[in-house]
Structure 1
Amino acid sequence: MKQLLIIEDEVKIARFLQLELEHEGYSVDLSHNGREGLNKALEGNFDLVILDVMLPSLNGMEVLRRIRQTSDLPVIMLTAKDDVMDKVMGLDLGAQDYITKPFAIEELLARIRVLFKLKVPAIAPSQIQETLTCSKLSLCPEKYEVSYDNTPIALTKKEFELLEYLMRNKNLVVTRESILEKVWGYDYLGDTNVVDVYIRYLRNKIDQKFQDKLIYTIRGMGYQIKDATNN
């Protein structure tokens, strides 16, 4: 039986979720503040945490940050804010999914089922050291390094994974949906704007910084990375 932890300060919502999830066959524990929830998440044997953002004692983002310091425990974030940047922050800190209140319980159950179906990471570690290149841009998955013409580029974890996915599909058009599935590691059911935000981050750090256009928007389809035509 899968063990779930709900960290939610609204007692009625937490109890409703607990009853619905137990009806679906999950074992559920509750916490109503961030600090207690963090301790339970780190000390317990849970398969998934459902984590509200607005919490007393410690907010959900800080709880997630501390969990990720020592654990890869799957986390689904809950929030009353429908803000892309909040979603980006949560996903960049390592949340597997993000759902905005109010939501249908069927949607949450579907996302949980998808998470538990995963068997392997979306981007498997390379067995041999390799270097991916595009124009003067180089990416080494094993060393977790990116550089342009030997100048190092600092990327966040999700930026690195997105760039790696694009470079592994160099000259091919990849859709937003495929990026969400492969980079975020599950069949994402929500807003695809998070991909556009991360593409903008990469363009700021690569295309604009080095004045070398590599990442292209293919209208109505998705994105493509290819060698610059001026090289």
Structure 2
Amino acid sequence: MLLHIPQVLTQQEIMKVRQIIDAADWADGSITAGTQSAKNKNNRQLPEDHPLTEEARQIVLRALSMNALYLTGALPKKIYPPLFNRYDGQQNSFGNHIDNSVRTHAATGRHVRTDVSCTLFLSEPEDYEGGELIIEDTYGSQAIKFAAGDMVLYPSSSVHRVEPVTSGSRIACFFWTESMIRPDEQRRLLYDLDMTIMQIRERYGDTPESIRLTGTYHNLLRMWADV
């Protein structure tokens, strides 16, 4: 499931995050790349243990904890601490790759299975040329270039890349989610069911039918969830 989540961050939160990370020292992006993806990765990244990374990270985590669409779409069990990258100048692209299946946080040794990949845009589309996130899914290639504050959520098993940035700077936050529901097909079914229930409740209120559907949703979640 590929999901566009608008306005994860407010304009004030975007400005605050940018003020924090724009003042930081950026490192070579290969510091978190796997063996295969390191050959294709040509960007810059804030070190995971940088104090400014942690300050900006907390803003993102607070916003995620209050975002109903993210919580419904990802059904998070664990979140790998958000990271920040930029593409500009000579470090401007990331070729085709698949994300590592498990990420281990260096400071804590905590393992996170990467079920869902997330990119939260921090630059406006008009601030840079190129830089589209290309995701290969069952419906073909999807080119993603959202407004600052918007996020895309997609299966970590997808082949994806970032096209070269030919001018300007593409700055984003990225992270992985271990979902309570491992199979993407089951997450999609639960998401569609939850969205349908909400639409029925908005139109007709709490009817006996909507209550039964809500029960079906939670019974499926109870059956499938790994918590």
TM-score normalised per structure 1: 0.25
Structure having the higher strand fraction is 2
Structure having the higher helix fraction is 1
Larger Rg: 1
Q: Which has the higher contact order (CA 8 A, sep 6+)?
A: 2
TM-score normalised per structure 2: 0.25
